[in-house]
């Protein structure tokens, strides 16, 4: 899943512990393989979440959705922009496994 998140930088600076807690919950979800976040400047961040399968991502969203609304959304200066999602077809980060 690829997203652009635009944060209010002051709110983001104050919420680091809550974000670490959210990251721990995210990492604990079955099938979650990790994420990559790129700081684009001005509060904008490109976020790539990797999941073993689309089914794992859907299951994870059912758990994470309420936490996104509680922890992440109040920090945003604009709605999160979903760029897209799909299977990983190439990676230099190591082996990619998929059940699809």
Q: Does 67 reside within a domain? A: yes
pLDDT in tens, 45-76: 999 999 999 999 999 999 999 999 999 999 99
3-state helix, strand, coil in the chain (%, to 5): 40, 30, 30
Residue 95 lies inside a defined structural domain of this protein: no
Q: Are 35 and 26 in contact, with CB atoms under 8 Å apart?
A: yes
Taking residues 23-35, report their average pLDDT: 95
Compute CA distances 85 → 20, 72, 88, whole Å: 24, 20, 9
Residue ranges making up the domain that contains 23: 2-82
CATH code at position 57:
3.30.70.100
In a domain, 27, yes or no: yes
Number of domains in the chain: 1
Do the domain assignments include residue 39?
yes
99 domain residue, yes or no: no
**Mean pLDDT value of segment 86-91:** 86
Nearest to 78 by CA among 6, 25, 30, 29: 6
**Distance in angstroms (rounded) separating the CA atoms of residues 37 and 90:** 18
The answer to whether the beta carbons of residues 96 and 21 sit under 8 Å apart is no
């Amino acid at each position: 899943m690829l997203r652009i998140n635009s944060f209010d930088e002051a709110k983001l600076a104050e919420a680091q512990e809550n974000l670490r807690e959210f990251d721990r919950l995210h990492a604990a979800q079955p099938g979650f393989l990790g994420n990559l976040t790129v700081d684009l400047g001005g509060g904008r961040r490109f976020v790539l979440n990797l999941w073993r399968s689309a089914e794992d991502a859907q299951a994870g969203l059912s758990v994470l959705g309420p936490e996104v609304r509680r922890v992440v959304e109040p920090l945003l200066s604009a709605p999160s922009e979903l760029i897209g999602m799909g299977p990983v077809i190439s990676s230099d980060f190591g082996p990619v496994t998929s059940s699809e």
